[in-house]
Amino acid sequence: MTSNKRMMATVVFAICTACTTASAQSPKGFSGVAAFYSTDYSGRTACGERYDPKKYTAAHRSLPFGTRLRITDPRSQRSVIVVVNDRGPFTRGRVLDLSLAAAKALHMIDRGLMKVTAVIE
């Protein structure tokens, strides 16, 4: 292989690798089972705010407070954007606790638990 052909092959390889890497990058996300806060709950969240059932908020075990998540019900394709302001859930198998407003917007009140996908906005 001549040096020009070798150089051309290297350039093509580099361009293809860069294109593949760029298109393979996707927003961070996760999926799992979500629940929602009880209608009777009142108190403070882990970040110190008073829980407001009318706001679109969520509890997550480790995401930083203030993280915005797009929560989607894969079955109905309904989605809401919530802000992480609390820690939890502390029940095995669950990934999020949603505020009452977010749960109502997703039509999950009658279902109780719901499989969701979450993407960091």
pLDDT at 35: 97
pLDDT of residue 95: 97
pLDDT at position 106, please?
A: 97
Q: What is the pLDDT of residue 1?
A: 52
Number of Cβ within 10 Å of residue 111's Cβ equals 13
What pLDDT does residue 26 have? 45
114 touches 32 (CB < 8 A)? no
- The pLDDT profile of the chain, 121 residues, written as one tens digit per residue, is 555 545 444 433 443 333 333 323 346 999 999 999 999 999 999 999 999 999 999 999 999 999 999 999 999 999 999 999 999 999 999 999 999 999 999 999 999 999 999 999 9
Residue 63 near residue 89, CB atoms below 8 Å: no
pLDDT at 74: 96
| Rg (alpha carbons) of the chain, rounded to whole number | 21
CATH of 27-120, one of 1.20.120.530, 3.40.50.300, 1.20.1090.10, 2.40.40.10: 2.40.40.10
User: Cα separation of 47 and 49, whole Å?
Assistant: 6
Distance CA 10, CA 20 (A): 15
